[in-house]
Amino acid sequence: MNIVDNLELIKQISITSPSKIVLLVIDGLGGLPHPKTGKTELETANTPNLDRLAASSICGLTDPVGPGITPGSAPGHLALFGYDPVKYEIGRGVVEVIGIDFELKPADIAARGNFCTVDNSGLVTDRRAGRISTEKCAELCRLLEGIKLDGVKLFVLPVREHRFAVVFRGEGLSPEVSDTDPQQTGVEPKAVKAKYNPARRTADIANEFITQAKTILSKHHPANMVLLRGFSSLPSIPTMGEVYKLKPAAIASYPMYRGLARLIGMQLLKTGPAITDEFATLKQNYADYDFFFLHIKGTDSAGEDGDFDSKAKVIEEIDKALPALTGLKPDVIVITGDHSTPALLKGHSWHPVPILLYSKWCRADRAREFSETACILGGLGRFPATQIMPLAMANALKLAKFGA
C-alpha cells in the first residue's frame, strides 16, 4: 500500500470520538553511543518515568523518510503527522517564512535570502556577509521593503544574522524559477530564470528586486548584495481535520514547528519557552482538543552543538516533567523524535528514531526501558514514520473497520 492511498484510506475510515492522543516530539531524539560508555544520549540520561511508561507500551524504531535518508525538520515532522514527506515536499522559502509567524497566502511566492558580500567586479566573496547581526539584518530588510515592484506587494522579513526571507504577493506568480545563490564564492550571483514560460514574469520581478537591492545596499558593505533561493509557494495539503477528523492543537515554542502545524490545520496554543511551560499549556487546554502535538527543541539544539551531556540533560528534564502529561491519562501517548541528531555527528542523521506508543490496547512488548537498544526488540519493529498516525488513531479507537 503506498502512502498516497494510505491518507485516502484513513480519511475513509477515521471517526470522531472523545478519546485523546498526545504526540510528544523530542526533536532529534535518536543518538549514537558515546565512545567511552557505549551508551547513547537517551541511554545515558536517567529516565525513570520514560522507562516505566515504556514497560507498559509498545516500542520500536521509526524511519522518518526512509532508511539512510537524513531528514530536514519539515519532512521529519510531516512524516510524524502521517504525510508522505516526499510527496508533500515543502520549499525552503515557505519553510523559512512560516517559521517567522508570517501568514503566507496560497498565491504568495516565498524565497529564502542571504545578505552577501560582492567585490568591485560583482563576484561573491562571502555568501554570508560576515554573518551580520540580526539587528543589522532587520535594518537592511526595512530598507529593501521600500522597493516598488509593478503589480506586486513585497515583504522583506528578517530571520537571523544574514538570513532573511522575501515574499512576492500578486496575481499569477509562479514558484518555478531558479536560485541566484551560486553556492560558491569567486563567481557572480546568477540571474533568476523561469523554469517554464509562464514563470517569466516572476523571474523578471525577482530580478528587478535584486537589481534595486544591489543599488540600495552598495553603501552597506559587507552586506552589499543579496542571494535568493528556494522560491516556493504553499503546498496543497489536506488538514488533519480532513484526514483524521481530529481537532488538533500544537504546543511548540519554535516558530518553524508552529508554522508547520498551522499548515496542516492545527490550532496554535500560546506557551512559554521552558519544557514545564509546554506541559502546563497541555494541561490548561486539555479539555478542548482531541490531539496534541507537543514539541521540544532542546535535544536537537544540544545535538547540533555536539553537546552530548547537555542533550542527555534535556532528556532528563523531559522525564521529570512527564508525570504532568501521564497524569492527564490520555488514551494514547506517542513519544518519539522527528529524526536523530547524534551529538557525535553534530547534526541531523539517518538513524531510525526510538518510539513508544502507550494505550490500553497497545499489546505491550518486553522493552523495559526507552532506549535505542531496547526499541530494536520492540513490538513495533522498524517501520516508516508515516504509519505512526494510523497506529495512534487505531489505539484511540478512532479508525473503523476496513472492508466488510
Contact residues for a copy of itself (CB under 8 A)? 1-3, 5-6, 9, 13, 32-33, 40, 61, 65-75, 84-86, 89-92, 95-96, 230, 342, 344-345, 347-351, 361, 363-366, 372-373, 376-384, 387, 389-395, 399-404
SS3 label, residue 164: strand
Least distance to a copy of itself from the beta carbon of 167, Å?
16
**Closest residue by Cα to residue 388 from 350, 355, 341:** 355
Q: What is the secondary structure of 243-259 as a DSSP string?
A: HH---EEEE-SSHHHHH
Shortest Cβ 70–a copy of itself spacing (Å): 5
Q: How far is the CB of 304 from a copy of itself (least distance, A)?
A: 12
- Three-class SS of residue 299? helix
Closest CA to 386 of 181, 110, 93, 81: 81
- Which grid coordinates belong to 328? 492527564
Q: Is residue 244 within 8 Å of 137, Cβ to Cβ?
A: no
In the complex with a copy of itself, the residue whose CB is nearer, 13 or 138, is 13
* Nearest distance, CB of residue 152 and a copy of itself, angstroms: 24
C-alpha cell at 172: 499569477
User: How far is the C-alpha of 384 from the C-alpha of 62, rounded, in Å?
Assistant: 5
Of the pair 85, 158, the CB lying nearest a copy of itself is at: 85
Nearer to a copy of itself, 68 or 186 (CB): 68
The neighbouring-strand residues paired with 10 are: none
Q: Give least dist CB 293 to a copy of itself, A.
A: 18
Whose grid coordinates read 497541555?
A: 282
Q: Of the two residues 274 and 377, which places its CB atom closer to a copy of itself in the complex?
A: 377
Report the residue number, 35 or 135, with the smaller CB distance to a copy of itself.
Answer: 35
Q: Give the burial class of 327: count Cβ atoms within 10 A of its Cβ; 0-12 exposed, 13-18 middle, 19 or more buried.
A: exposed
Instruction: Rank residues 271 and 371 by Cβ distance to a copy of itself and give the closer one.
Output: 371
How many angstroms separate the CA atoms of 175 and 89, rounded?
13
Q: Which residues pair with 22 in a beta bridge?
A: 292, 333
d(CA 251, CA 266) in angstroms, rounded, equals 10
The nearest distance, CB 251 to a copy of itself, in angstroms, is: 22
Q: Which is nearer to a copy of itself, 153 or 160 (CB)?
A: 160
- Residue 79 CA to residue 65 CA, distance in Å, equals 7
Shortest Å distance, C-beta 102 to a copy of itself: 15
Q: Which CB, 304 or 317, lies closer to a copy of itself?
A: 304
- 10 residue type, one letter: I
CB of residue 42 vs a copy of itself: minimum separation in angstroms?
Answer: 12
